[in-house]
A and B are shown apart, each in its own frame.
Chain A
């Protein structure tokens, strides 16, 4: 890896080519792991900190970000837990449920919303024609 870095990155008087590349590598992992850490406090509680970080690292190695926004970083985490259940053993089912719930919270936070129904809307509509739906970000 040192040779690969040296092929395209210049060293300076303090750092080798590899060490300069390593700064970006460290920052990348701090950034993406921090994001999952914040978005999945429930999963962290179920697995414990150490197991959570191992799971998060394995997940991101398998499914690196495919979106311009970090908000979407966990969009395949449930799928990953299905594919590689060993990372959440022995509480696989609880972990999957928690991931589903916490991802749903991410979606609900900034999902599209229709105007909320008001008491006047209900009073003005005949009961036979009244139909209530959940907001799209909940369903």
Chain B
């Protein structure tokens, strides 16, 4: 359902990422945008221009935080400095939920700055869920964990990716940031039906959706976030909306970033699918009867 415990019971609509090339336009023109997503690590600083811009944005817009460095799947313990800075930022933005990725990316204090897939095993699911619970307890904000695009699979995996995601979020009792483009990219790289993935995850835990573009190479797809959303991904998004309702949706465009208007117009295409879903919802779906 759109408003649920994993997005702080909010009903946010279509958002876009807050990106440096758009700062001037947003601060000068004050366009109507339902919400912005920020990359937490870009604002976990002590001062200067990043926080000056963020505070100006917070005066007029709703902001949700999305992280790239919690590495729930890493064997290392959390970086305490990272966690403390993240918590300060959570208090500053009042983000209704916080997301990060179902991945690992650091070992022995060395960072890849990438979102690496894990072997899908029960032991890894237990470890990852434990770290998510620990993060949530410290940060005191609902957490949604995002499925990543991947280019490799492990011999050690005991289950499918969607079974693994489901296992992790149930054990962690956390939400899902359902990245529809990542499902599509991974489905092509690993030869599975993306609709099996969409149909199988616990829909009541989806707190947010991501859509994005990607790049096609001869033998694989790469999650580049530098193109418009492709038609197969829009079709998957429409299906996702039927399954989870009109959930907060964010268009990611992180490289070769065009004008603000072009990015925002691309994001607003999602409204078409949300409106169609709402139109097919019956009255009884909207106002379920309760028995005394």
A69 → B minimal CB distance (Å): 5
A10 near B155: Cβ-Cβ < 8 Å: yes
| Nearest CB in chain A to that of B46: its residue | A112
**Bound complex: CA of A10 vs CA of B113, how far in Å?**
23
Q: A49-82, CB under 8 A of B: which get 1 and which 0?
A: 0000000000000001111111100000000000
- Which one of B48-56, B135-143, B200-208, B243-251 contacts A? B48-56
- Which one of B146-154, B161-169, B270-278 contacts A? B146-154
**Bound complex: CA of A111 vs CA of B49, how far in Å?**
9
- Which one of B7-15, B104-112, B233-241 contacts A? B104-112
Chain A interface residue count: which class? 20 to 34
Given contacts A12-B191, A112-B46, contact A68 B219 (CB under 8 A): no
Given contacts A108-B48, A111-B48, contact A68 B111 (CB under 8 A): yes
Contacts of B220 in A (CB 8 A): 14-15, 23
Interface membership of B82, Cβ < 8 A: yes
**Bound complex: CA of A65 vs CA of B112, how far in Å?**
7
Given contacts A13-B191, A15-B219, contact A24 B47 (CB under 8 A): no
Contacts of B151 in A (CB 8 A): 20, 23-24
A106 → B minimal CB distance (Å): 10
- Among A2-31, those with CB < 8 Å from B are 7-10, 12-15, 17, 19-21, 23-24, 27-28, 31
A105 → B minimal CB distance (Å): 11
Q: How many residues of B contact A (CB 8 A)?
A: 32
Interface membership of A113, Cβ < 8 A: yes
Interface membership of B257, Cβ < 8 A: no
A109 near B49: Cβ-Cβ < 8 Å: yes
A21 near B152: Cβ-Cβ < 8 Å: yes
Q: Which DSSP category, helix, strand, loop or mixed, fits chain B's interface?
A: mixed
Interface membership of B75, Cβ < 8 A: no
| Nearest CB in chain B to that of A21: its residue | B152
* Residues of chain B having any CB pair with chain A under 8 Å: 41, 44-51, 69, 79, 82, 106, 109-114, 116, 151-156, 189-191, 219-220, 222
Closest 10 CB pairs of A and B: A110-B45, A110-B48, A112-B46, A68-B69, A14-B219, A20-B152, A23-B151, A65-B111, A113-B47, A112-B47
Query: 18 more A-B contacts (CB under 8 A) besides A8-B156, A21-B152, A69-B41?
Result: A9-B152, A12-B190, A12-B191, A13-B191, A19-B219, A20-B151, A23-B220, A28-B114, A65-B110, A65-B113, A66-B110, A67-B111, A68-B79, A68-B111, A110-B46, A111-B46, A112-B47, A137-B48
In the complex, 18 of the A-B residue pairs with CB atoms within 8 angstroms, ordered by the A residue number, are A8-B154, A10-B152, A10-B154, A12-B190, A14-B219, A14-B220, A15-B220, A23-B151, A23-B222, A24-B152, A27-B222, A28-B112, A64-B111, A65-B113, A66-B110, A68-B41, A68-B106, A110-B51
